[in-house]
Amino acid sequence: MRKSKALALFFLLLLLITAVAAPWIVRVSFEVQDANNILVSPNSTFWFGTDPLGRDLFSRVVYGGRISLGIAVFTTILALIMGGIYGGIAGFAGGRFDQVMMRFVDIFQAIPALVLMILVTVYFNSIRWLKDEEWHSIFSITAALSIGGWLGVARIVRGQVLQIREMPFVVSARGIGARPQEILMRHIFPHIVGPVLVILTAQIPAHISYESFLSFLGLGLHPPYSSWGVLAGEGWRTMRSSPHLIIFPGLVIFFTMMAFHFLGDGFRKTE
Amino acid sequence: MTPGYIFKRASETLITVFFVITLTFIFLRALPGGPFDGEEGISLEQKRQQEAFFNLDQPMVIQYFNYLKNALMFNFGQSFRYANKNVSEVMADALWPTLEISLVSLFSAYLIGIPLGLFSVYLYKTRWDGVAVFFISSGICLPAFLVGPILILVFSLKLDWFAPALLEGPASFVLPVMTLGLRPLALVTRLIRASAVEITKSDFVRAARARGLSETKIYFKHILKNSLVPLLSISGSLGASIISGTFIVELLFAIPGLGNVLVDGVINRDYSLVIALAIFYTLLLVLLNLMMDLVLIKVDGRIVIK
């Protein structure tokens, strides 16, 4: 399995590079509409073909990666911070306080994640307090993903903290009179870095799939800006005449998910 | 399984449902713009009248308590969009197609996934294991909105074997079920493979070998039986996977089910419909988890309830 892990890492690095260096990689910008080349099938100039407005699909996929990956990474970090603080407090406090806090998480987790996310996206899509349309739709999707994402993190972090705080080295630190924040930062925090890394490889692909899901349903960004899910959603509408418009964005999502999947497996095995 | 435990779980369910009603109410009523804003050619007065008819002109708090009272009696009021229809009627109409494809997908996932999982155990430690892992992972990672269109392109547009949309007759089930069931199938296969590999290494299997039992007997009596128990514990996530899958599958195949109703309701701001659906899905998931926990307690003697 070592080989698949290396391949996964290589693919993700490639994605990262194309996302960062997007302007230098694409032939034309994602917004440029070429009236002479509408719905062209993939060829040597247009690697992924063009869409009904003559925009280069390869360019749109590369730029879409910026948004899809950016949102996924950002919301995962946000979920880690939120869930980490919440779960850390619950686990460190313990007792009744912990019980009440975790009951709240239980209740939230009982709601199907997608139903919750749909509600939140719709809510933020309609309040519109950011002027820029693109940033606003990015913001609402970010809010939706973070609201669902922190729950699992909180649960895992709390479990870890509960376990570690009873370990001899923490008990003895408490015994010699270390302050709570010192125990938390010096003794407990370093021990939850490992599990958190595993969560990271599981949450990023989950957020990519949720984001593409919402965007596919039409709750995401609006053209010309687009994530992979938006592209797939657009492609589905013109599927009969030009299947390449759904197949390429779909495949990119699939390969990315696979890469994270194998990378996560690799992490778990070396633990 | 004491009555106390069941009471505790039941009250948890109630609290959850109450919370969902409140949350959905806050989200949807806080939206600017009412459900009749998009309608063309009605005067302000007519709009007021319509809003008064649906009690939208009353203060928020009163609306909320009214809603809570009605929801407890399973009365979710009128749908704004579907003329002259109760929310429960709209849902009842849409429930059947969704239930059909969901149950068929779930059963197929178990029916095919369990033998596949055992077969992949057979491949474990051979050079085909990597291939098996690749296929299982693909099944988990493939997004439904890629699988569905590819199936439609190949099997209905190119080969013309199945209709590309709607549920009419058993043949029309094939493509939606394949799209919806793929991920659950892969999850079941992966779980069976993982737990069976674990069990193969356990002492009682080694003891059975030492006693001279035949390999088939070991396989079915010891390995299969014990690897079925963990299946129950992932039923909740399978259920959630299928619920979210129906949103996409029903859109792709134009099936008039609950997922389609929800997506429409969200776009049209059909408040009562969306709230009722959110409550319905939550209840479904909570009950599914509760049921599986109870079965698990019965099946697995090691679990002690507090």
Tell me if B149 and A236 make a contact (CB, 8 A cut-off). yes
Output the domain CATH number for residue A187. Answer: 1.10.3720.10
Distance CA A160, CA A157 (A): 5
| CA distances in angstroms from A171 to A87, A96, A191, listed in the order given | 20, 20, 15
Residue A219 lies in a domain: yes
What six digits make up the tokens of B158?
């190119």
pLDDT tens, residue by residue, A93-132: 888 888 888 888 888 887 888 888 887 877 777 666 666 7
Residue A61 lies in a domain: no
- The sign of the CA dihedral B11, B12, B13, B16 is positive
Percent of the residues in chain A that have a pLDDT greater than 90, as a whole number: 8
Q: What domains, with CATH codes, occur in chain B?
A: 93-270+283-299 (1.10.3720.10)
Sort A21 into a burial class: Cβ within 10 Å, 0-12 / 13-18 / 19+.
exposed
Residue A8 lies in a domain: yes
For residue B157, the Cα-to-chain-centroid distance in whole angstroms is 29
Q: Which residues of A touch B277 (CB under 8 A)?
A: 115
306 residues of chain B, pLDDT tens digit each: 677 887 887 888 788 878 877 877 777 666 655 555 555 566 667 766 766 666 666 777 887 887 787 777 767 767 766 767 777 888 888 888 899 899 999 999 999 999 998 888 888 878 888 888 889 989 988 988 899 888 888 888 778 787 777 667 777 788 899 999 999 999 999 988 888 888 888 888 888 888 888 888 888 888 888 888 788 778 877 888 898 889 889 988 888 889 888 888 877 777 678 778 888 888 888 888 888 887 877 777 776 665
Q: How many domains does chain A have?
A: 1
Contacts of A178 by beta carbon, 8 Å cutoff, 6+ apart:
A186, A187
- The sign of the CA dihedral A51, A54, A55, A58 is positive
Q: Which residues of B touch A253 (CB under 8 A)?
A: 143, 146
Distance CA A131, CA A136 (A): 7
| CA distances in angstroms from A204 to A68, A201, A210, listed in the order given | 10, 6, 10
Distance CA A60, CA A225 (A): 8
- DSSP conformational letter for B162: S
| CA distances in angstroms from A233 to A43, A66, A172, B144, listed in the order given | 22, 18, 57, 12
Backbone angles phi, psi at B59, to 5 degrees: -60, 150
| CA distances in angstroms from A261 to A252, A254, B75, B139, B191, listed in the order given | 14, 10, 44, 11, 15
Question: By C-alpha distance, which of B180, B169, B171, B154 is closest to B251?
Answer: B180
Range of the domain at A160: 2-15+71-269
Interaxial angle between packed helices B129-141 and A244-270, expressed in degrees from 0 to 180 and rounded to the nearest 10: 120
What six digits make up the tokens of B22?
């409140």
CA distance A8 to chain B (A): 12
Helices (H), chain B: 3-29, 44-53, 60-72, 87-123, 129-141, 144-151, 174-200, 203-210, 215-217, 225-227, 229-233, 235-252, 258-268, 271-299
Residue A256 lies in a domain: yes
Residue A134 lies in a domain: yes
Residue A228 has a CB neighbour count (10 Å cut-off) of 28
Q: Which residues of A touch B244 (CB under 8 A)?
A: 112-114, 213
**Closest partner residue to B286 among A4, A110, A122, by Cβ?**
A110
Residues A270 and A67: beta-carbon distance below 8 Å = no
Residues B129 and B190: beta-carbon distance below 8 Å = no
What six digits make up the tokens of A210?
């949720």
Reported residue count of chain B is 306
Residue A202 lies in a domain: yes
What six digits make up the tokens of A195?
């599990």
CA distance A182 to chain B (A): 35
Residue A23 lies in a domain: no
**Closest partner residue to A126 among B33, B141, B143, by Cβ?**
B33
Residues A65 and A129: beta-carbon distance below 8 Å = no
Residue A163 lies in a domain: yes
pTM summary value: 0.84
CA dihedral A36, A38, A44, A45 (to 10 degrees): 50
Residue A271, pLDDT score? 34
**Closest partner residue to A126 among B12, B32, B146, by Cβ?**
B32
Q: How many Cβ contacts (< 8 angstroms) between chains A and B?
A: 121
